Structure 1
Amino acid sequence: MTHNTPLSPRPLRHLSEVHRRVLTAAQLKAHGVSSAELAEQCRPGGPWQQILPSVFLLHPGPPTSEERLHAVLMYAAREAAPGVPAQPGAESPHRPVYAEAMITGLAALTLHGFTSAPPLLSIERIDVLVPRLRRVRSTGCARVVRTPSLPTAQQVTGVPIAPVPRALADAVSELSDAGAVRRLLTEAVRGWHCEPAAVVRELTNAKLLSRPQVVDAVDSLLAEGRAIAEDRMYRMVEEHGLPDPVWNVDLRLPGGPHLGGLDAYWPEQAVAVELDTRAPRQDDDAMWSEYARKRETLERLGITVVHITPKKLRDAAEQQAAVVRTALMASGDRDPAAYVVVLPR
């Protein structure tokens, strides 16, 4: 094929449908399209158009949401090394590979299925996450977000997207509407997309916790997360046939100091369960020290403390029920615990 030969669909048949419509200049060149022909095709009123630097839409109409996503990824992704195909072969036509780039922010949340995130076509700029040292800039419909370490991408309809906690942090960084922030964070937990601690960790890393529109939303997020975790624990006890504990109690020594609050307690067996819904915030070290001090005090008094995280309750409730059951059964082999006063919390 000479450089003056018009592009035919034949060389492009092995590509996925979207990649017959969106290609980079390097990919077009690899398929025999010269710079002169590319310029001719993209003339005003021509059949093609440039959507981003070195990324071209091979039809004259507005891009679809799928085309915009792939165009942004093509623009931001690291170019394939010489000799390495930039596009997949015939054996995998629907699996484009985007090195060191993934969709994040509101577009990623939409792809994750968030109903509180806007439709893709209404998102003016699509966030794309790249390594910190990548030499690519925000332009057009692409907003480049940099990170020292890329998370493991999740694939949705062939598009690599950031995990929910990272996508949330990147979305929140661009939002000033407190209501929108709260809706996104609440849906993340209510929709079981992720645990509150993972979200707060990403917000902390992004230095967003000092923003007024984030502070109240995070407090609501943590309260929501605790309520969901408590509900899971109630169901764990019921569904796995554990004896009923007393719920949400405070322990005190008779006439002595307050020992701390517990989420569940079996007085006869002196077994306690504590939900760890701590989130990594600025006071996390102090919170952990307080938690460790309480646990050490209770165990010194002969009370077994079972530590359960919301994630374990969600992913392995049967295993956590077995841990509690084992602790209850083992109580008969221990020395009797010290007498404590149990009060409602």
Structure 2
Amino acid sequence: MRPRVAFIGTGGTIASVGRGPLDLHDYTAAGKMLHAAELLERFPEAREVAEVVPVRFANVPSPKIAFPEWLELLRICDRLAAEERDLAGIVIGHGTASLEETAYFLSLTLKHPLPVVVVGSQRPNSALSTDAGLNLVNAIRVAACPRAWGLGALVVLNDEVHAAREVTKTSTSRMQTFRSPDFGCLAHADGDRLAWYRKPLRRAAPDTEFDPRSLKALPRVDIAYSYAGSDGAAVRAFRAAGAQGIVSAGFAPGFVTPDEAEALGEAAAAGVVVAQSTRAGSGRVFPTTKLREAGFVPADNLTPQKARILLALALTVTRDPREVERIFGEY
């Protein structure tokens, strides 16, 4: 008997139909996306590996997806896990621009061990040599795999399985864009089987302390990007806009300009929780004496966009910088 897997479609490139098979980069101008059931009709091979239950959600580019959509996806996953008999896992089709952020949010907030796999594609489903069909099939295979249980949300593209915490988009258009720079993928989706090689050790669903289901919004957290000569104006603007947390995307391994350090120090003294990340894309920020004296929280090896999500969720349970530092050390 084939496993049962739910497929939620949110739009993005994987759902997009361009103006022809060679339309690889301007396909959004066509304005056409397929909903989950339609995408399964386009790639009937998906039903060869599982009994797939399509779930209609939305058809939008992923830059339009943020907390309201994350919350709705979270609730849909809750409902599917509770109501769908013998469900093996859930797949979410998603645009690649913000795919890693949706996956990480779900990895921090899901309360069941059921595999949730987020999948996208670099080429629209109408393109010559599109990756949409095989990515979808592989995501379904992973969602149906018992070894994927309890690993938090996963990301599948280009025959690789990645942990939501670790993966990031590294290229605008290349097929191998999703990488986990520090540690590599968890598994390969090969033609004969799923070849698993490691498990992530950081806390993830369902073992988390975060539950945003009753919230209308997350605490505001902004990202201040460091560059030569940055003067702290962005930090002060974020404070004026009501930021409760700021992620500093500093120079590697976690430095900022003197003017920016002054602005961030003012923010921390005023009760804004400052998490120090880097713009490097990999590697830890160390808990140095300078960071501790300034009251900043080291963001470990999280990218700024991932640190922003964890900090926002951390602020729903504590405002103590030392407790926030514990959270960054565990998740």
What's the TM-score, normalizing by structure 2? 0.31
Larger Rg: 1
- Where relative contact order (Cα < 8 A, 6+ residues apart) is larger, the structure is 2
What's the TM-score, normalizing by structure 1? 0.30
